[in-house]
Amino acid sequence: MDTLLWICSPQLYHYERIDLSAENCRHLRPVNLPKRPLKALKLDCVFVHYFVKAMDESSVYRRGVLDTVQRWRAPDVLILSPTDKDLIDYNWNARVYRMVRERCEVDHAFSWLSTLGGAFSALGDYFENCAETAGRISMQQLMLAARIGDPNVQARCRLYFSLSLIQKKRFQLASRIIRQEYHLAQRQAAIDERLVRMCKGIWAKLQYEHGTHKRNTSRLK
């Protein structure tokens, strides 16, 4: 059925019809308006906005309102008065603005560190100082990932750090980190397959580098 609202603020406006389906509400008794003084209801315009929104989204609330309307004479005219409250929460707006700007800067810095870390990691197979730099970059990424609050990104940063440890021949510590991250990834409710494959790939590199290191060491003896 259709409910017709007339709004005067300060002139007479025709408000859009609100269509209520028959399955969600009860039919109101048709009323032939006699010649009598119109009944007006004055409401805050913001309240009316949220009231109509609640009516549209909740069938339970809508039925309750219609049951109440049947028991009393609904107003013929709805007068919307300007709100006397500040609609903009400036304090919250400033807080959200700082959070958004911080996240943008963190993402920007993270992308730069990822590029630099990848370059130094590639050179870390040949130069130990580059592997050391790649490890420091991974720790900086881990600090940024902690600010973002994404556990999967933090896990990747720890795996990047383990890669630098492999390049520096610190196989035992790297092995412990990879095992820990692999078990944590497997216990997640939603398993990140890319993270699991990353653990397996770095573990394969660990085995290869450790085997190569053992063979080279035995030859020197």
**pLDDT at position 5:** 40
Domain ranges of the chain: 2-81, 90-216
Other Cβ atoms closer than 10 A to 158: 19
One pLDDT digit (tens) per residue for the chain, 221 residues: 333 343 333 333 333 334 444 444 444 444 454 566 667 777 787 788 888 888 888 888 888 888 887 777 666 677 777 777 667 778 888 999 988 988 888 888 888 888 888 889 888 888 889 999 999 999 988 888 888 888 888 999 999 999 999 999 999 999 999 999 999 988 888 888 888 999 999 999 999 999 988 888 877 66
Instruction: Determine the length of the chain.
Output: 221
Candidate CATH numbers 1.25.40, 2.40.70, 1.20.58, 3.30.310; the one for domain 90-216: 1.25.40
**In this structure, what are the phi and psi dihedrals at residue 8, rounded to the nearest 5 degrees?**
-120, 110
Q: Within a 10 A sphere around the Cβ of 189, how many other Cβ atoms?
A: 4
Q: Which neighbouring-strand residues pair with 78?
A: 7, 41
pLDDT of residue 36: 62
Res 26: pLDDT: 43
pLDDT at 45: 78
